[in-house]
Every structure is written in structure tokens, then in C-alpha cells.
Amino acid sequence: MNMSEPAHFDIGDLRGEMRHDEPMARHVSWRAGGVARHLYRPADLADLQAFLRRTPATEPLLFVGLGSNLLVREGGFPGTVVQLVGALAELRMEDGLIYAQAGVPGAKLARFAAANHLCGAEFFVGIPGTLGGMLAMNAGCYGGETWQQVVRVQVLTRSGELLERAPQEYDIAYRHVVLRQAHEEFFVGAWLKFEQGDVEKARQEIRALMEKRSASQPLQQPNCGSVFRNPEGGHAARLIERCGLKGRQIGGAQVSEKHANFIVNVGGATATDIENLIGAVQATVLQQTGIELHPEVRIVGERVK
Ligand SMILES: Cc1cc2nc3c(=O)[nH]c(=O)nc-3n(C[C@H](O)[C@H](O)[C@H](O)COP(=O)(O)OP(=O)(O)OC[C@H]3O[C@@H](n4cnc5c(N)ncnc54)[C@H](O)[C@@H]3O)c2cc1C
């Protein structure tokens, strides 16, 4: 990676795993993209706190879960990616609420809720991200949204201080979550509330949602879910399809034939192919319909010079 700082980072007595010049294609569901200068996978919450306490405030940090909504440009991420999946994995009942750490995957959360006779978590099953990513994105589907279930969240500040925050402290909307006081903080857990209900019905709903997804989404090809946010009162997929863009390809990136709001990696796609295709779809939709589409996927890192 052509960056000014040397590719080393002394982790001393930290218990997690540090990698250098790590290809992010291994960690994002598009299976494409550049490298991270460092990638740290903490051993647990205490280890993550210790990591943050000793990381210089100038080091750019990017917290990631399963990378199911993320693209790192070919020029790479010039800082440390902190990966929580597999690390912050606690999941338990606490005073009638579910406490889950940020690395818990959506499907695990949905099944844990059903096993505890709770309903309303079914929609999480089809979102292939972690709770941390779902909190950051206010992920949702089929009428459910992550923050509708949140009683309070647990965050770590940039300097490693552990805090609890209430939903009222955030601006929350469709795929939008911003802390009102602009501090750099990261989600490490949340307490979620669900209603008691018919578990068998919840399990059936989970099965039905899985079937619905595999019928309508190109799950066999690397993708990042819906690329664009739905414009107000409209559907990004319908607009893209109406503009004749299904099957449009740049390099190894293609607008899915199965679901027009998905871009799939048909083999060897680069982050640039994907980003160029995103731009081409935006330009065509704007030209033909006058509607501006905005990406839902997060694109980070340096462009190749
Ligand atoms: C097949 C498929 C279907 C999908 N369906 C849906 C759907 O129905 N609804 C939907 O909303 N999304 C959907 N998605 C998109 C994606 O799964 C969600 O956005 C999910 O919330 C991302 O979680 P993640 O852990 O993978 O986050 P990542 O992709 O790793 O990160 C996404 C963003 O969240 C930030 N982030 C991650 N963890 C933290 C943390 N602990 N603290 C602070 N910031 C953090 C990252 O920095 C990044 O900006 C789908 C994706 C795929 C591949």
C-alpha cells in the first residue's frame, strides 16, 4: 500500500489479532476492494477498550461488522479497520430485554428472540449484518427497523470510555442515524425490547422471509444488498428496471438481472468497476426520470491515482 506511514502498529499486551495491509475483499460481501493499512479484531470488549485507549487520536478508525454494506476503494483505507464480528458476541436476556453485543449477526438475534418467546425480531433474519452495522445503518425490511426495538445502546468513545445512550440522543430516520452531539463513537452493544408472542408463528415468519429473499434476491452472487436508498414515495429497483439497466455491466460488476437495486460481482469486479457502475446507474436514472438516487452502501478509502 502506497501510504506515508509504515505498515506496523505495536499492540503490546492487547489480546486481539492485528493484521497489516489486509485485503478488505476478504471481509466485505462484494468480495472486492482495496486493503486496510491495519485490521484489528479485538478479543472482547475490555480488549477493545484498551485498544482505543492506546490508539493515537490521529489514526483513522473504521468499525465494521460483516461488511455487507461496505466498499473500500482500491487506494485502500489509510487507517485501522476494527472488526467486531466473532469478537463482541455476547447475547443474553437481561430484565426482560435482549442484551446483544455489536458483533452478533442479525439471524442469530432473530433466532434467539424466537427461542425466548419474543416476537418482532423476525425481520433481522434476512439482514446479513451485525447488530453494530444495523444500528449504524438503522437497517430494516418488511416494515421493521432496528431502532424501533432499541431501549438503549452501549457505545465506546474514541478514547475508550464506555457509555450508555438513549435513542433520543440520536437523529434517526430511514437508513440514517446520527448522534446529535457530533462525537466519534462506536456501537458495542444494545438492549432491545420485543413483545411476548407465539414462537411457532415467529419461526414460520422467519422461514417465510428467508424463502421470499432467496426468490427475489441474487444471493448466489457476491452483492451488498440494495445499493440505493428508495427515493421518497418510490422504489429504486423499479426506477432502475424502467430505465432498462438490468444486466448493465462494467468490468466484473453487473446490475443484477434478478433484482435491479442489487449490483453483483460476476467475477473479478474491482471497487472501481462497482463505483463506476453506481455512477452510471445514477446518471441514467437522473437523465430519464429526473430522480436522483443516493447510495445506501458506504464507500470509503482512497481513490487510485
Ligand atoms: C443479501 C443482502 C441483503 C440485505 N438486505 C438488507 C435489508 O433488507 N435491509 C437493510 O437495511 N440492509 C440490508 N442489507 C445491507 C446490510 O446487511 C445492512 O446495512 C447491515 O446493517 C450492515 O451490517 P454490517 O455488520 O455488515 O455492517 P458493515 O457493512 O460492516 O458496515 C456498514 C456501516 O456501518 C458502520 N458500522 C459497522 N459496525 C459499526 C459499529 N459497531 N459502530 C459504528 N459503526 C459501525 C460501518 O463503519 C459502515 O459505515 C443487505 C445486504 C445484503 C448483502
pLDDT digits (tens, 9 = 90+) for 206-231: 889 889 999 999 999 999 999 999 99
Q: What integer is the mean pLDDT of 287-305?
A: 94
Write down the pLDDT at residue 8: 54
Distance of CA 31 to the CA centre of its chain: 14
Which residue of the set 175, 203, 229, 298 is catalytic? Answer: 175
Q: What integer is the mean pLDDT of 168-183?
A: 91
Ligand 1: residue of 30, 39, 69, 84 to mutate (most ligand atoms within 8 A of CB) is 69
> How high does pLDDT run on average in the chain?
94
Inter-residue contact 205 to 123 (CB < 8 Å):
no
Evaluate whether the domain defined by 17-83 bears CATH number 3.30.43.10. Answer: yes
CB atoms within 10 A of CB 248: 17
Write down the pLDDT at residue 199: 83
Least confident of 7-11, 60-64, 133-137: 7-11
Pairing of strands 91-94, 176-179: unpaired
Q: What integer is the mean pLDDT of 258-281?
A: 98
Write down the pLDDT at residue 9: 63
Provide the CATH number for the domain formed by 236-300 in this structure.
3.90.78.10
Q: What integer is the mean pLDDT of 163-174?
A: 96
What region, left, alpha or beta, does residue 97 occupy, with left being phi > 0 and alpha being psi -120 to 50 degrees? beta
- pLDDT surpasses 50 at 6: no
Domain extent listing, the chain: 17-83, 91-216, 236-300
- pLDDT surpasses 50 at 7: no
List of residues 6+ apart from 159 with CB closer than 8 A: 52, 53, 57
Ligand 1 centre from 6 Cα, in Å? Answer: 30
* Any ligand 1 atom below 6 A from CB of 134: yes
- Residue nearest atom 50 in ligand 1 by C-alpha distance: 225
Closest among 151, 88, 149 to 121, alpha carbons compared: 149
- pLDDT surpasses 90 at 241: yes
- pLDDT surpasses 50 at 2: no
Q: Is 175 noted as a catalytic residue in this protein? A: yes
Inter-residue contact 28 to 67 (CB < 8 Å):
yes
Evaluate whether the domain defined by 91-216 bears CATH number 3.90.1150.10. Answer: no
* Any ligand 1 atom below 6 A from CB of 29: yes
* Any ligand 1 atom below 6 A from CB of 179: no
Write down the pLDDT at residue 190: 98
Helix intervals (H) in the chain? 45-54, 106-115, 131-137, 199-216, 236-242, 271-289
Q: What integer is the mean pLDDT of 69-77?
A: 98
Report residue 232's pLDDT band, with 50, 70 and 90 as the boundaries. very high
Write down the pLDDT at residue 12: 84
- Residue nearest atom 6 in ligand 1 by C-alpha distance: 127
Write down the pLDDT at residue 290: 97
Please determine whether the domains at 91-216 and 236-300 fall in the same fold group of CATH.
no
Taking the C-alpha atoms of residue 166 and residue 173, their distance in angstroms, rounded to an integer, is 15
Q: Is 68 noted as a catalytic residue in this protein? A: no
